[in-house]
Amino acid sequence: MRRMLVLILTVIAVGSISGTAAASTLRVRLDPNDSSSKLDIHKVITNLSDTTMYLRLKSWDRFKPREMAENNWVFVLDTVGTHRLDRTVVIYHHVGGIVCAVFKYNTPFQIGRRLATRPDGKSAACHLPRGWFGHIDRAVRFRAFTYQRRHATDMAPPHGHMFAGI
């Protein structure tokens, strides 16, 4: 009985340690409730692995994919570390669902696109190949926006700053 108890406690301890190690790689940044849009950014959740760039935006309110028809989420990134933006990720509604498209910054040249996932009713997440972002050897700087037609209605971080590190 004692051996069984020790075994069970060991399994629980190992499981809890490995679970927290995997979760600790996600970076979560908060943004204030400062827009009337259903897509007002609440959390910016990111991760960069050897193979994948994970970008997720979470709104303050639940939304349906078709509500992204007039509002899009956009990331602009400096992946090289030169303080010049070089990639744009647009999260938008398409016939098949929500799509993540990667572009060279400020150009119509699309590098690639993938269907987004919906971790919950308030979020859309992009799992994108790291290769689409070129050689990354420094902390990626970025900003996220909610766009309505041709202007930004919400920015994270606010006041023109950039997040450092994905």
CA distance 138 to 140: 6
Q: Which amino acid is at 8?
A: I
Supply the pLDDT for residue 75. 96
pLDDT, one tens digit per residue, over 85-142 is: 999 999 999 988 999 999 999 999 999 999 999 999 999 999 999 999 998 878 899 9
Name the helix (H) or strand (E) containing 160.
Answer: none
Q: How high does pLDDT run on average in the chain?
A: 85
Q: What long-range pairs does 101-109 form, CB within 8 A, spacing at least 24?
A: 102/128, 102/132, 102/133, 105/76, 105/77
Supply the pLDDT for residue 96. 85
Residue 126: C-alpha distances to residues 3, 21, 40, 147, 162 (Å): 45, 21, 18, 17, 20
Q: Are 40 and 59 in contact (CB under 8 A)?
A: yes
Supply the pLDDT for residue 153. 86
The pTM of this model reads: 0.82
Q: Which amino acid is at 35?
A: S
Domains of the chain with bracketed CATH: 27-164 (2.60.40.1190)
- Comparing CA positions, the residue from 10, 14, 161, 24 lying closest to residue 83 is 161
Helical H segments across 102-159, by residue range? none
Supply the pLDDT for residue 139. 87
pLDDT, one tens digit per residue, over 55-76 is: 999 999 999 999 998 899 999 9
